Amino acid sequence: MNPREPLKRVLYIDLSKKSFWIDEREDLFERWLGGVGVAVQLFKEEASKNVDPLSPENPVIFSVGPLTSLYPLASKTIAIFKSPLTGNLGESHAGGRSAIALRLAGYGATVIKGASQLPVYLVIKEEEVEFRDASALWGVSNAITVGRILRETAPGQGVRTIMRIGKAGEKLVSYAAVMTETYRHFGRLGLGAVLGSKKVKGIIIYGKHTIPVEDKKKYREVYDRLYKLSVESDAMKRYHDIGTAMNILPLNYIGALPTRNLNSSRFEGAEEISGENIAEKKLARRIACAHCPVACIHIASIREPYPDEPYFYKTTFISYDHELIYSLGSMLGVKKIDNVLRLIDIVEAFGLDAISAGVSLAWATEAYKRGIVTINETLVELDWGNVENYIEAIKYIVEQPNHFYTTLAKGTREASKHYGGQEFALNFGGNEMPGYHTGYGAIIGYSIGSRHSHLDCAGYRVDQTIKEPPSPEEYVEMLIKEEEWRQVLTSLVICLFARTIYTVENVVDALKPLGYDCTEDELKKLGEEIYLEKQKLKIELGFNPRELKIPSRVFETSTPHGLLRRDYVEKALQHYAELIEYKINTSD
Amino acid sequence: MECFEKNMSTLVHEVKRLAVLDSERCVGCQLCMFACSRRFGEGGLAKSAILVRSVGGIEKGLTVIVCRACENPPCARVCPTDALGQRKHGGVIFDSSKCIGCGNCVRACDIGAVFWDDETNKPIICVHCGYCSRFCHYKVIGVEKIK
Ligand code: SF4
Ligand code: SF4
Ligand code: SF4
Ligand code: SF4
């Protein structure tokens, strides 16, 4: 590691004492690279295994890696914490300007612990942390407004990040998100609630350091090559043109688009809410995370008239992605673009994770229709496509006026435990299902992935490329291998959309001019080690690989590979459990 | 590095300037900013002479701030030490050995295109080499010949 490299600096912030200090941790960054690799170790140092996710003792770690701010598409920050949604390891990634700002403020990671008595927002600069009073911002119902206010008072226009939580985070909804730069999120697994429990309304990070490079000439050469690969790549076209919303139509066509709480895998409104149609009718602009030429962020605009004055309109800008159109569109039977966008807008304003919010409402709708819960619980009639009532219900999830909504604010696993309907509560390990019902790879991937997310190992992609599934054992091994390699990418830290550009050869090349001399095999081995560290940590935190539960609904609704067989999935999960136990037993 | 600098100065002698062609097309990727710092072979943004920022929230659009090569540059006029000389056909040439770091030039540029290098305590002003424009995939910025 280059001795002048600031990556090794870890900023510790104690909210209870309003103090901070900086430690040099070459030991961690040399052994574990950065990003996920380092954050997991920092988490292990700070957290006890029974820590309550919403207590001051739950640490929040943000980290970046050696490639951050040096190469295109190295644009993500990793957050590690204990998740209030799953009660286990929480990991969430976000872009915007967050990664660049943290890195150029001169840090590789920050550890935030303790809790403030009064609401605060943090301003993190190159050598200093300010704890500013956020009492006036606490309770502001729209997170976008909060961003607007912070923009005015904070330094460093153009070279900073503004992270903040919404009301959902303040109210400790288990799937509250953290927003950054208005349109990017640490969405999944409830980081917003953890910050809310610490009374942290926002975090501003500002910096524009130089990052030294050992071999300048080589650095520019590798940069130029990776840049060229990026702008000429397939990913570039796919993600820039229509964005992730390009998935809606093909998934619907092959029968893999979860619809109405997965009662169907085809949606009759898919054409209308497709990425193509939104782009044609509503797309206002496309933007990028800092240092990413792809610009996959798609922003639509909708114009609504004010009822009290003619020719007076409110224009709202809303960013959309595949997952949001799925969870707040097809999953809730919402067929009109404007209505899907309105739901996205309100979820954004409250600062909720869109997937968990949509899937929770989908479960609630089915439970209501089956009479498991009544209007006494739901307070409004829940019905597929009834957007006005869904908007009310989203407000109730945040406000939690009764036991039902307090429970629903903890996710579908908790809600179905109390009220029944577990067989159609679509969560894996407590995390709500992503928008792909593509086959075995997806279901096994959600189950065994460390975050229970489709991004852990991309089984949903494999499903779409293979004709026949391999044996359950082979499938599990394939997915674990992919997840292991992704530990390297998320330690560097690369946006996963760039995974085809950052092949193992290219990663070795990119690291060399920075003074890292590592071989392809060493990198792969590191991926395996980080993966194992995470699996061990999960088990310590109470996860049991032998007790994975799959909601039976996934076996009742067909996929492009037909109806899935439970015995196949069970065999796969058993093989996974055996492999993990074996890996752990032989590792030390 | 040397060959690159030679390259840069030949470009400069052809009297071209960097121009903002259409900021409406800007996606805010900031690759131009990183490129400008990379001229010196380093990462980060400390040496950037160009800044892309939102105009009050990304939804309202982006603005690209960079020297526009004034014919009679106000930044040079206020420099007490002649560290900023007038560049032929617009803009300035900076001689860092003469600069005393007073910051007059920063205040003199109406569009805020004189940036500050906190690491050297001296200004950073675009030399119109055009390197950044090679990394702007959306053709927001480009090199223009000055007539
Ligand atoms: S820095 Fe500003 S004042 Fe100086 S030449 Fe450029 S635009 Fe004009
Ligand atoms: S900071 Fe340097 S270049 Fe700018 S006006 Fe002062 S002496 Fe001249
Ligand atoms: S033209 Fe050259 S000096 Fe000016 S902003 Fe671009 S890279 Fe920097
Ligand atoms: S490289 Fe081009 S699109 Fe990207 S921020 Fe700079 S001017 Fe805008």
Q: What is the pLDDT of residue A140?
A: 87
Task: Report which of A251, A195, A210, A198 is spatially closest to residue A560, judged by C-alpha positions.
Answer: A251
Q: What is the pLDDT of residue B14?
A: 60
Radius of gyration of chain B (CA): 15
Tell me the CA–centroid distance for residue B131 and ligand 3, in Å.
Answer: 6
SS3 assignment, position A81: strand
Distance from CA of A26 to the nearest CA of B (A): 20
* CA–CA dist A158, B19 (Å, integer): 20
Q: ω before B15 within 30° of 0 (cis)?
A: no
SS3 assignment, position A441: helix
For residue A14, the tally of other CB atoms under 10 A from its CB is: 17
Residue range A28-87, pLDDT digits in tens: 999 999 999 999 999 999 999 899 999 999 999 999 999 999 999 999 999 999 999 999
The residue of chain B nearest to residue A224, with distances taken between CA atoms, is B135
Q: What is the 3-state secondary structure (H, E, C) of A85-103?
A: CCCCEEEEEECCCHHHHHH
With tokens 């990776």, the residue in question is A226
The residue of chain B nearest to residue A301, with distances taken between CA atoms, is B59
Task: DSSP for A141-177, please give it.
Answer: S-HHHHHHHHHHHSS-TTSEEEEEE-HHHHTT-TTB-
Tell me the CA–centroid distance for residue A316 and ligand 4, in Å.
Answer: 24
With tokens 């503004």, the residue in question is A162
Residues with CB under 6 A from ligand 1: B 67-70, 73-75, 91-92, 109, 111, 113-114, 125
- For chain A, give the number of residues: 588
**Domains of chain A, earliest start first:** 5-205 (3.60.9.10), 245-405 (1.10.569.10), 432-586 (1.10.599.10)
Query: How far is C-alpha A474 from the chain's CA centre?
Result: 28
Q: What is the pLDDT of residue B147?
A: 65
Q: Do A210 and B30 touch (CB under 8 A)?
A: no
Q: Do B137 and A293 touch (CB under 8 A)?
A: yes
Q: Which atom belonging to ligand 2 lies closest to the Cα atom of B100?
A: 7
Q: Do B38 and A182 touch (CB under 8 A)?
A: no
Cβ(B129) to ligand 3 under 6 A?
yes
- CB contacts under 8 A, B 56-75 vs A, are 56-59, 61-62
Q: Do A288 and B61 touch (CB under 8 A)?
A: no
**For residue A317, pLDDT beyond 60:** yes
Averaged pLDDT of chain A: 95
| Band of residue A306 on the pLDDT scale cut at 50, 70, 90 | confident
Enter the tokens of residue A31.
């052994």
* CA–CA dist A110, A100 (Å, integer): 14
Q: What is the pLDDT of residue B13?
A: 52
B122 touches chain A (CB under 8 A): no
Q: What is the pLDDT of residue A145?
A: 82
Tell me the CA–centroid distance for residue A241 and ligand 4, in Å.
Answer: 17
Q: Do A347 and A326 touch, CB atoms closer than 8 A?
A: no
Q: What is the pLDDT of residue B126?
A: 97
Q: What is the pLDDT of residue A134?
A: 94
Tell me the CA–centroid distance for residue A502 and ligand 1, in Å.
Answer: 40
| Mean pLDDT, residues A375-394 | 98
Q: Do B42 and A212 touch (CB under 8 A)?
A: yes
Tell me the CA–centroid distance for residue B138 and ligand 4, in Å.
Answer: 7
For residue A87, the tally of other CB atoms under 10 A from its CB is: 18
- For chain B, give the number of residues: 147
Rounded to 5 degrees, what angle do the CA atoms A187, A373, A84 make? 30
Residues with CB under 6 A from ligand 4: B 26-32, 52, 64, 135-136, 138, 140-141
**For residue A231, pLDDT beyond 50:** yes
Residues in A lying within 8 Å of B, measured between beta carbons = 69-70, 72, 100, 103-104, 147-148, 151, 157-159, 181-183, 208-213, 216-217, 219-220, 223, 227, 231, 284-293, 295, 299, 317
SS3 assignment, position A241: helix
Q: Which atom belonging to ligand 1 lies closest to the Cα atom of B91?
A: 5
| Cα–Cα distances in angstroms (integers) from residue A423 to residues A267, A416, A428, B55, B79, in the given order | 21, 9, 12, 49, 75
Side-chain-facing half-sphere of B138: CA atoms under 13 Å: 25
Contacts 24+ apart (CB under 8 A), A520-524: A523/A488, A524/A484, A524/A485, A524/A488
Q: Do A19 and A120 touch, CB atoms closer than 8 A?
A: no
Residue range B4-20, pLDDT digits in tens: 444 444 444 567 899 99
For chain A, the distance separating the N- and C-terminal CA atoms, rounded to the nearest angstrom, is 27
Q: Do A347 and A192 touch, CB atoms closer than 8 A?
A: no
Torsions phi, psi for A131 (to 5 deg): -105, 105
Q: Do B42 and A220 touch (CB under 8 A)?
A: no
Q: Do A181 and B58 touch (CB under 8 A)?
A: yes
Q: What is the pLDDT of residue A416?
A: 98
Maximal C-alpha separation, chain A: 73
Q: Do A293 and B56 touch (CB under 8 A)?
A: no
Query: How far is C-alpha A53 from the chain's CA centre?
Result: 17
* CA–CA dist A100, A75 (Å, integer): 7
| Band of residue A540 on the pLDDT scale cut at 50, 70, 90 | very high
ipTM of the complex: 0.94
Q: Which residue in A127, A287, A514 has the most chain B C-beta atoms within 10 A of its own C-beta, making it the best mutation to test that interface?
A: A287
Q: Do A11 and A110 touch, CB atoms closer than 8 A?
A: yes
| Mean pLDDT, residues A82-101 | 97
Question: Which residue is closest in CA terms to ligand 1's atom 4?
Answer: B75
Distance from CA of A144 to the nearest CA of B (A): 9
Tell me the CA–centroid distance for residue A157 and ligand 1, in Å.
Answer: 20
| Mean pLDDT, residues A525-551 | 96
Q: Which atom belonging to ligand 3 lies closest to the Cα atom of B48?
A: 8
* CA–CA dist B77, B71 (Å, integer): 12
* CA–CA dist B144, B147 (Å, integer): 9
Percent of chain A with pLDDT over 90: 89
Q: Do A282 and A229 touch, CB atoms closer than 8 A?
A: no
Chain A residues near residue B29 by CB distance under 8 angstroms: 288-293, 295
Chain B residues near residue A4 by CB distance under 8 angstroms: none
Q: What is the pLDDT of residue B7?
A: 44
* CA–CA dist B7, B9 (Å, integer): 6
The residue segments making up the domain with residue B102 are: 2-145
Tell me the CA–centroid distance for residue B28 and ligand 2, in Å.
Answer: 30
Instruction: Report the DSSP beta bridge partners of residue A185.
Output: A179
**For residue A303, pLDDT beyond 90:** no
- Closest ligand to B48 CA? 3
With tokens 């009822």, the residue in question is A307
Q: Which helix (H) or strand (E) holds A201?
A: strand A200-206
Question: Which residue is closest in CA terms to ligand 4's atom 3?
Answer: B26
- Residue B81: CATH number of its domain: 3.30.70.20
| Mean pLDDT, residues A225-234 | 92
* Pairing assessment for the beta strands A120-124 and A200-206 based on DSSP bridges: parallel
For residues A362, A368, A373, A377, the Cα torsion angle rounded to the nearest 10 degrees is 80
Q: Which helix (H) or strand (E) holds A521?
A: helix A520-540
Q: What is the DSSP letter of B56?
A: S
Enter the tokens of residue A243.
């964005």
**Least confident piece of the model among A310-324, A411-425, A515-529, B121-135:** A310-324
Tell me the CA–centroid distance for residue B141 and ligand 4, in Å.
Answer: 7
Rounded to 5 degrees, what angle do the CA atoms A36, A39, A44 make? 125
Question: Which residue is closest in CA terms to ligand 2's atom 5?
Answer: B79
Chain B residues near residue A290 by CB distance under 8 angstroms: 28-30
Residue range A120-157, pLDDT digits in tens: 999 999 889 999 999 999 998 787 788 888 888 777 88
Q: What is the pLDDT of residue B35?
A: 98
Q: What is the pLDDT of residue B54?
A: 87
Q: Which helix (H) or strand (E) holds A574?
A: helix A566-587
Q: Do B31 and A72 touch, CB atoms closer than 8 A?
A: yes
- Closest ligand to B138 CA? 4
Torsions phi, psi for A440 (to 5 deg): -60, -40
pLDDT tens over chain B, length 147 residues = 333 444 444 444 567 899 999 999 999 999 999 999 999 888 999 999 999 998 877 777 899 999 999 999 999 999 999 999 999 889 999 999 999 999 999 999 999 999 999 889 999 999 999 999 999 999 999 999 876
Angle between helices A472-492 and A504-511 (to 10 degrees): 20
Q: What is the pLDDT of residue A127?
A: 87
Task: Report which of A22, A6, A39, A7 is spatially closest to residue A124, judged by C-alpha positions.
Answer: A22
Handedness of CA A516, A521, A523, A526 (dihedral sign): negative
Question: Considering its fold, how many domains does chain B have in total?
Answer: 1
Contacts 24+ apart (CB under 8 A), A168-171: A168/A192, A168/A193, A168/A196, A168/A350, A168/A351, A168/A352, A168/A397, A168/A398, A169/A193, A169/A195, A169/A196, A169/A351, A170/A138, A170/A139, A170/A196, A170/A201, A171/A196, A171/A398, A171/A399, A171/A400, A171/A409
Query: Which spans in B14-121 are helix H?
Result: 31-38, 74-77, 104-108
* CA–CA dist A324, A358 (Å, integer): 8
**Least confident piece of the model among A2-16, A158-172, A228-242:** A228-242
Chain A residues near residue B45 by CB distance under 8 angstroms: 69, 100, 104, 159, 208-209
Distance from CA of B98 to the nearest CA of A (A): 23
Q: What is the pLDDT of residue A307?
A: 79
Q: What is the DSSP letter of A564?
A: P
